[in-house]
Chains A and B, each alone.
Chain A
Amino acid sequence: MDVLGSLQYLVTGFGVATTPENLFYCLAGAIVGTLVGVLPGLGPIAGIALLIPATFNLNATSAIIMLAGIYYGAMYGGSTTSILLNVPGETASVMTCIDGYQMARKGRAGPALAICAIGSFVAGGLAILGLAFLAPPLAEAALAFGPPEFFSLMVFGFVVLSNVTGGSLIKSLMMAVVGLIIGTIGLDPVSGNPRFTFGQVSLLGGIEFVAVAIGLFGIGEVLVNVEQPAQVLEQGVLLPRFRDLYPTLQDLKQSLSPILRGAAIGFGVGLVPGPAPVIATYASYMVEKRISAHPEEFGHGAIEGVAGPESANNAACQSAFIPLFVLGIPFAPPTAILLGALLIHGVNPGPAMIAEHPQLFWGVVASMYIGNFILLLLNLPFVPLFANILRIPKKVLLPLVILFCLTGMYSVNNFMLDLWVMLGCGALGYLMRRWAYEGAPLLLALVLGPKLEVAFRQSLMISHGDFAIFADRPLSLLFLLATTGFLVLPLFKIAVQSARRRTAAM
């Protein structure tokens, strides 16, 4: 598909996205996303999972427009609490805390929030442009992928995700394997035989991934919060005073280059496996600090330290849709949940999706432009209003989140077993946080497990049981070599460190 063809489709997409119905769902997604982002403890993963039942009566396009809106809306909302309270609303906003909160302490919360909104809008828009023009040719290229390539790519994804989530590599790998094992419960995707169902008909359909997502990321987070001392739960938060609301011309001038650099970094990082927004914000902050003429101001309220990471965050979140739509392989938990939502609505993402469902793909892409514009309008004047939600004391907020988790979960399938699975995963999520195990690899593995197994078994059937098939195909070999690199790198680092220590001791 050439550029002109993409443009024509994009125009059609705008036709789809601007119907009153889709505009409403785009607005609803943006507002809910902002709320989810503002509330610490309820990230985009739990937010999207909770809202899936609300999309059952909608067509697939409207549903994905709304759920995608929650994802990128949460990125906008997450920055609010980082700046005002030094509490990241979601993990991708951690870097924004550093300089954003310092700006707020100096009475410059308004400009910091405005720059976040403007940066997110510009970077999000640029990334969507990349999505619109890169996804179709990539999808055509991905049509050449066979089972071995898909298998190697997914293994690569797991290992990279496990390597960059911040915790221990081996713990993350174990979580990925546990996710894959849980994913095998139910009917075997190849032969249709039941596995690990213990004669229970209710387990034939497998473990509902939404229950695992809400349990691990919603209830688990609430339980960690419940541990806090009574006086912390008692209070709402005190917001800093807004001395001025809008940035000066000087602020805008200083922020322009970081925004553009952040957009480029975020777009690139979003294409590779891992928690893209988190890595992108970190990389952008480091780049800005390194090339700044006044690096000493970083950490004390440098506006570049807010503009860059926030832009990178949104660009990464938009470009993360490319692997989802093009390969049908989500590289991060929020897009994994979106994959689940697409499957629920009868859409199978992959190389053929853009050709098979052009209305959906281009409608969602166009809605992202509109959603970003809505978020800009919503965030500039109404930020103090959204931040007021934080005045609700935690002792009221936490029970509310639990009630919505239970109700939302039941709504997915009207199935009691899902509630028990969710509660079990909630307890598991709590223990995992306390023991420093990552939930993201488990969830991603659970969603991708059946695809991985099918690709693996098909590859072996094609090759008559010869593992060389994974090395014979150049692309598959490339992914496997990269995977080996990611596995060996930490060992290499440990070896170098211990060698240095030995030398120093001598």
Chain B
Amino acid sequence: MTPAILLLLFGMVTAGLSLQIRIGTLRAPGSGFFPFYLGLLLVVLAAIHLGLLWRGGRSVSGEEVGLLPRGSWQRVLLFLGAMSLATGLLTVLGYPLVAFLLMALLLYILGVRRWLHIVVVALCAAGVSYALFVRWLQIPLPMAGFGL
């Protein structure tokens, strides 16, 4: 039920925000025309879907229960947290250090506990990606204090 409600709200917000842009007429549609009707279409589709779910149309619903899906999602949240942290620190610490720390953190989250193992794998991964992206492909990744 939850995703359908979220989609319904998303459609309503889209249509509402589109009203603030010029919708125009059928002869000369404005910038808000297309997103406004898309928002309405989403509201209609989500409402139909909700109606079917409400009537117990199991074949249509798939596996929709609760806000968060079942399963061991704690590790998923930790993974997302680690990635967000790495993204946030990229410009502060520079790519090589962030790549190393991210790898080490993700390995730890996935259950690797031998520190030597973590350091060697993280160092190799950060080194190879640095060589590939920064040296070979010349991508200007943030370097912070590592502007080698």
Partner-B contacts on A (CB < 8 A): 53-54, 57, 167-168, 170-171, 173-174, 177-178, 180-181, 184, 188, 190-191, 193, 195-196, 219, 222-223, 226-227, 229-230, 233-234, 394-396, 398-400, 402-404, 406-408, 410-411, 414, 416, 419-420, 423, 426-427, 430-431, 434-437, 453, 456-457, 460-461, 464-467
Contacts and interface: CB of A to CB of B under 8 A. Distances in A.
Contacts of A173: 45
The 6 closest A-B pairs by CB, nearest first: A465-B26, A434-B69, A436-B62, A399-B106, A465-B27, A395-B110
Contacts of A416: 87, 90-91
Given A226-B110, A399-B103, A435-B64, A178 B25 contact: no
Which of A57, A233, A396 has most B Cβ within 10 Å? A396
B27 A184 contact: no
Contact of A403 (B31, B49, B103): B103
Nearest to B103: A399
Contacts of B80: 223, 423, 426-427
Given A180-B38, A426-B83, A403 B102 contact: yes
20 contacts: A53-B139, A170-B48, A171-B49, A171-B60, A173-B45, A180-B38, A184-B38, A223-B80, A227-B76, A230-B111, A234-B111, A399-B103, A402-B106, A407-B99, A408-B133, A414-B139, A435-B62, A457-B34, A460-B29, A465-B26
A193 B34 CA distance: 13
Given A188-B31, A416-B90, 17 more contacts: A171-B62, A174-B42, A180-B38, A193-B22, A227-B76, A394-B110, A399-B106, A406-B102, A407-B141, A414-B140, A416-B91, A423-B87, A435-B63, A435-B64, A435-B69, A436-B64, A465-B25
Task: Give the one of A403, A411, A427 with max B CB within 10 A.
Answer: A403
A453 B34 contact: yes
Interface in B66-124: 69-73, 75-76, 79-80, 83-84, 86-87, 90-91, 95, 99, 102-103, 106-107, 109-112, 121
A193 B31 CA distance: 7
A272 to B, nearest CB: 24
B110 A177 contact: no
Contact of B79 (A168, A170, A394, A402): A402
B137 interface: yes
Interface string B18-57: 0001100111111111110011011001101100100000
Contacts, number: 177
Contacts of A457: 29, 33-34
Nearest to B121: A396
By secondary structure, the A interface counts as: helix
A396 B107 contact: yes
Interface of B: 2-3, 7, 10-11, 14, 17, 21-22, 25-35, 38-39, 41-42, 45-46, 48-49, 52, 59-64, 69-73, 75-76, 79-80, 83-84, 86-87, 90-91, 95, 99, 102-103, 106-107, 109-112, 121, 125-126, 129, 133, 137-141
Given A416-B87, A461-B27, A178 B35 contact: no
Contact of B3 (A400, A426, A437): A437
Given A410-B139, A460-B26, A195 B32 contact: yes
B64 A195 contact: no
A223 B76 contact: yes
Contact of A395 (B28, B29, B90, B111): B111
Contacts of A467: 26
Contact of B62 (A167, A191, A399, A407): A167
Contacts of B39: 181
A188 B63 CA distance: 37
Contacts of A223: 76, 79-80
Nearest to A193: B31
A399 B29 contact: no
Contacts of A180: 34, 38
Contact of B129 (A54, A168, A404, A456): A404
A182 to B, nearest CB: 10
Contacts of B62: 167-168, 171, 435-436
Nearest to B7: A174
